Structure 1
Amino acid sequence: MRPPPRGENRRMEQRVELRDYLRILHRNWVLLLSLTVLGGAAAFGWSLLQTPKYEATTQLYVSVRSDSSGVTELAQGTNFARQAVVSFVDVVDSAVVLDRVIDELNLNTTPQELAKSIEATSPTNSVVISVSTSNSDPALAAAIANSVGTNFADVVVNQLEKPSGSAPSLVRIETIEPALVPTAPSSPRIPLNVLIGVLGGLVLALGIAALRAVLDTRIHSSHDVESATDKPVLGGITLDPEAKKRPLIVHADPRNPRAESFRSLRTNLQFIDVDGDSRTFVISSAGPGEGKSTTTANLAIALAETGARVALVDGDLRLPRVAEYMGIEGSVGLTDVLIGRVDLADALQQWGNERLFILPSGQTPPNPSELLGSQAMQRTLEAMAGAFDYVLIDSPPLLLVTDAAVVSRFASGVLLVAASGITRKPHLSAAVERLEGIGSRLFGVIVTMLPTRGPDSYAYGSYSYAGATDTRAGAPGKSGEAASRPVENA
């Protein structure tokens, strides 16, 4: 039997922890608060619309006459009364009793309707019957309860339990506590109703929050990456609403928390164990719009700040962005080198005062995958790996085209970018499985667009970091200006 993919094993082994529940509650706190308050308000409003009901109760004592005062006879009479009470309770709201009550009080109702407002109960092994009635008129509620008690006693004693002849009935029913006019309504119980409404709203909100958590397959934090792959999270890049205005944050604002995120990523990347001395990395993502190009550019600048010789290659021959972000001319670049039109040394452009060199994509070819998978591409990367400490290749999304997978065969490995709130777990899993299927090495995942507040916030967003060693990168070179030759002709 074929074993499940590694990512599937990871999902099977993953356990739900307390922090997962806390994260769900934190993420949905507005929903929880809103529905809880709404539930309480709805219950309060519903209670105000209800007609107040008043409840009055009378208590009746049932006994059995005895001609002897012996203990045995008294005990037998008491046991008989206890047994008879069970049947007498059912007689309280019977038509034979309620017809008399209706006639006595001149009520405009039927026995069936009146019976709905009457309740007779008796505790176990007791000879006391409690008769309760509810009505919107407190005085009428007390009158009905007393009338039911009086007429019930008369029906039982003088009709149902009357012996033949003129002998008196052995059963006696006496009122031991008459019904009094109630001063406060028994319903609606506003505090109780509000509490039920609050709890109902909270339960509904928890259900919706749980359903949203189950149906939401997007990655929100580095923790969510664990359900898609067992590869480490190399770094988290905080969200910058103005990223489109200043994509090169490491150069534009070195002390920005987001810039520090890239330096953290740089540090983690320096400790990656690669085969041999070559550090050629393909940077891709599962889908578009996840920040791979800006991540590649800022990482290249951060690496160059340390004095390393860095080459940034725009391997996205379909929708290139590197030349635009770096502010250089991109009409001549990788495609020209691969078809032999331009030497590699002539196509590379130095950026700023750092040891950073850019190889734009060049003209858009009709066959990007074939060019990236050619021997010319392999020779070009080998030449750059020998001349630079780091070679970063910005590549198209893995699930859209095969370009990144093809070029990854010539590199040390792949760095996969996943955007918080955009990338979906199944897509990230599919990208990982695609790389594993062709034998490419995935070093880890870079999570971008992490919020600086909320349950999925990233640590660097909580403070402003300013290091004494931070220096602003030099200004980019002029458009189209050739670099000083770091490599021989490829």
Structure 2
Amino acid sequence: MELADYLRILRKRWLVILVLTLVGIAAAATATLLTTPQFRATTQVFVFVPSTGTAGDLAQGGSFAQNQVRSYAEAVNTPRVLEDVVASLGIDETAEELGESVTAEAPLNTVNIEISVVRESPTEAAEIANATTTSFRAVIDDITSGQVSVSVLRDASVPQEPISPNTNLNLALGLLIGLAVGVGLAVLLEVLDTRIRGQRDVEALTTAPIIGGIAYDPSAVKRPLIVHDDPHSPRAEAFRTLRTNLQFLDIEPGARSFVVTSSVPAEGKSTTSANLAIALADSGARVVIIDGDLRRPKLAEYMGLEGAVGLTDVLIQRVSLADALQPWGRRGLTVLPAGSVPPNPSELLGSRAMQSLVHALEQEFDVVIIDMPPLLPVTDAALVSKMTKGALVVAAAGKTDRGELQGAIAALENVGAKVSGVIITMLPTKGPDAYGYGRYGYGGYGYTAEAGSASAETKRRKKAARR
């Protein structure tokens, strides 16, 4: 991953990172509140060898004390010292238990010893520290027969602030740990998330051009034909951009027939087919759209047509093609519904009759759009794609798995069909993967050009209405 990828993850998964950071801070605060405060009291003593002799004797005594001071410091925690402390203060502990809270340190190149006691009670800590120092002085005097003396440099005072818990340090550690876990989890979730999110994911799987991007619209179920119902909406403009890109994509002469399919169900292929057909018809082209999904037909319902007679009836020669075609709207759009659901859809769609039908429609119309079932569950779309100019594969952002899209494209390539382009649907409108109009432009054509074209067309209509 590059730095831009990590920044994108931070923007995308910021809520996870924030929540875990707050959890880390809360856990640190809870641990701090539940931790019993500990207080430290410290005394400092000076170890020396008494001498009334010459300067050389003093130096020799100082050197001896410095060499032995660490040994004397180790004696602080011995039972001989601490038993007197337990007895004098009446502490309900053994000398070994008391020794766990008593420490002694001798700074390097000095003859000083610091005796520290850590207890829950600050007063008790000071009392034990002073009592330990008194007992220690007596023990050293006894075992050295007075040849080594210990003098108190600083008595222990009652500490005012606890040494633990360190609230600021704990909160800082909680923040850092929570932040690190949050970032790690965000990266892990991104790595494990194999769904298509946008243009980069599609480009990593196929060399087929991305010819359109349609933003997610929660009301698409209620208003599937957005180009017709709300022609000036940004989503309708996205379909017109798709129309323009498709026109520039298909610059070679010959029949212009396309299968619209997807990897799995519910990726928006039928609404994409219908809106693309309407947008093409609005540009003045003669368009026919066929509902080739003989398993779960949707076009007749979306377009408000009677779907009892359609493609199935034409293929089995129950009705003529002319009788099954239904004009739609005031433009040059014609619809061929699916008709009745047959028991053998694959056989019908792969038949010579279907090939002849596609060829006949290519001769009569400028563009033929065939809405087909998903590629992975059934082979229908792959069979019909071979009869057309190519396939337009719909991939839903946040829904289609990368493996599914890869498998769908492979299914088309395995039968020799051409993948003319990929259309990304359900793109988010917010966040790092947000859909930006014009981002999916082809050959330099995007939202701006289409908006200008739409605006000009609107002006022409208004002038015509005045006349």
User: Whose helix fraction is larger, Structure 1's or Structure 2's?
Assistant: 2
Q: Distance in 1 between matches of 2:418 and 2:54?
A: 102
State TM-score, norm by structure 1. Answer: 0.85
Contact 2:314 2:321 survives alignment (8 Å): yes
SS of 2:159's equivalent in the other structure is: coil
Contact 1:275 1:412 survives alignment (8 Å): no
Counterparts in 2 of 1:82 and 1:453: CA distance versus 1, 3 Å: same
Q: How does 1:200-279 map to 2 (within 5 A)?
A: 200-273=177-250, 276-279=253-256
Q: Distance in 2 between matches of 1:90 and 1:295?
A: 84
Q: Distance in 2 between matches of 1:232 and 1:70?
A: 95
Q: Give 2:434's match in structure 1, choosing from 457, 465, 477.
A: 457
Which string of whole-angstrom CA distances, capped at 9 and with x for unpartnered residues, describes residues 432-487 of structure 1?
A: 22222222211222111112122221114999979424559x9xxxxxxxxxxxxx
Contact 1:255 1:470 survives alignment (8 Å): no
SS of 2:249's equivalent in the other structure is: coil
Q: How does 1:457-476 map to 2 (within 5 A)?
A: 457-460=434-437, 467-469=454-456
Q: Which residue of 2 aligns with 1:410?
A: 387
Q: Aligned pair 1:119/2:95, yes or no?
A: no
Which string of whole-angstrom CA distances, capped at 9 and with x for unpartnered residues, describes residues 165-196 of structure 1?
A: xxx42x33322222111122222222222222
**Cα drift, residue 223 of structure 1:** 2.7
State TM-score, norm by structure 2. Answer: 0.89
Q: Aligned pair 1:19/2:19, yes or no?
A: no
Q: Give 2:405's match in structure 1, choosing from 421, 428, 431.
A: 428
Q: Which residue of 2 aligns with 1:57?
A: 42
Contact 1:418 1:447 survives alignment (8 Å): yes
**Cα drift, residue 213 of structure 1:** 1.8
Contact 1:312 1:358 survives alignment (8 Å): yes
Counterparts in 2 of 1:122 and 1:428: CA distance versus 1, 3 Å: farther
Q: Distance in 1 between matches of 2:324 and 2:363?
A: 17
Contact 1:24 1:209 survives alignment (8 Å): yes
Q: Give 2:128's match in structure 1, choosing from 140, 144, 150.
A: 144
Contact 1:238 1:461 survives alignment (8 Å): no
Contact 1:258 1:461 survives alignment (8 Å): no
- Code of the residue aligned with 1:138 in structure 2: it is P
Q: Which residue of 2 aligns with 1:351?
A: 328
Counterparts in 2 of 1:56 and 1:329: CA distance versus 1, 3 Å: same
Q: Give 2:274's match in structure 1, choosing from 297, 305, 308.
A: 297
**Cα drift, residue 78 of structure 1:** 4.5
Which string of whole-angstrom CA distances, capped at 9 and with x for unpartnered residues, describes residues 338-372 of structure 1?
A: 22233323322221111111111122122111111
Q: Distance in 2 between matches of 1:278 and 1:88?
A: 102
Stretch deviating more after TM superposition (228-237 or 416-425): 228-237
Q: Aligned pair 1:447/2:424, yes or no?
A: yes
Q: Distance in 2 between matches of 1:348 and 1:286?
A: 28
Q: Distance in 1 between matches of 2:141 and 2:256?
A: 105
**Cα drift, residue 252 of structure 1:** 0.3
Q: Distance in 2 between matches of 1:83 and 1:269?
A: 91
Counterparts in 2 of 1:69 and 1:223: CA distance versus 1, 3 Å: farther
Structure 1: where are the runs of 5+ without partners?
A: 1-15, 163-167, 475-490
Q: Which residue of 2 aligns with 1:483?
A: none
**Cα drift, residue 120 of structure 1:** 2.1
- Code of the residue aligned with 2:21 in structure 1: it is T
SS of 1:459's equivalent in the other structure is: coil
Q: Give 1:376's match in structure 2, choosing from 353, 360, 365.
A: 353
Q: Distance in 2 between matches of 1:28 and 1:41?
A: 20
Which string of whole-angstrom CA distances, capped at 9 and with x for unpartnered residues, describes residues 128-178 of structure 1?
A: 22221112221211111122222223323421x44xxxxx42x33322222
SS of 1:195's equivalent in the other structure is: helix
Q: Distance in 2 between matches of 1:280 and 1:121?
A: 89
Q: Give 1:129's match in structure 2, choosing from 105, 108, 113.
A: 113
Which string of whole-angstrom CA distances, capped at 9 and with x for unpartnered residues, describes residues 103-144 of structure 1?
A: 122211112221222222233333322221112221211111
Stretch deviating more after TM superposition (115-124 or 369-378): 115-124
- Code of the residue aligned with 2:239 in structure 1: it is F
Identity of aligned residues (%): 51
Contact 2:250 2:256 survives alignment (8 Å): no
Q: Would you say how many aligned residue pairs link Structure 1 and Structure 2?
A: 450
Q: Distance in 2 between matches of 1:445 and 1:75?
A: 91
- Code of the residue aligned with 2:303 in structure 1: it is M
**Cα drift, residue 210 of structure 1:** 2.6
**Cα drift, residue 52 of structure 1:** 2.1
Q: Distance in 2 between matches of 1:188 and 1:395?
A: 67
Contact 1:254 1:471 survives alignment (8 Å): no
Q: Which residue of 2 aligns with 1:89?
A: 73
Q: Distance in 2 between matches of 1:74 and 1:429?
A: 89
Q: Give 1:107's match in structure 2, choosing from 79, 82, 91.
A: 91
Q: Which residue of 1 aligns with 2:25?
A: 40
Q: Distance in 2 between matches of 1:39 and 1:221?
A: 33
Counterparts in 2 of 1:50 and 1:391: CA distance versus 1, 3 Å: same
Q: Distance in 1 between matches of 2:370 and 2:458?
A: 25
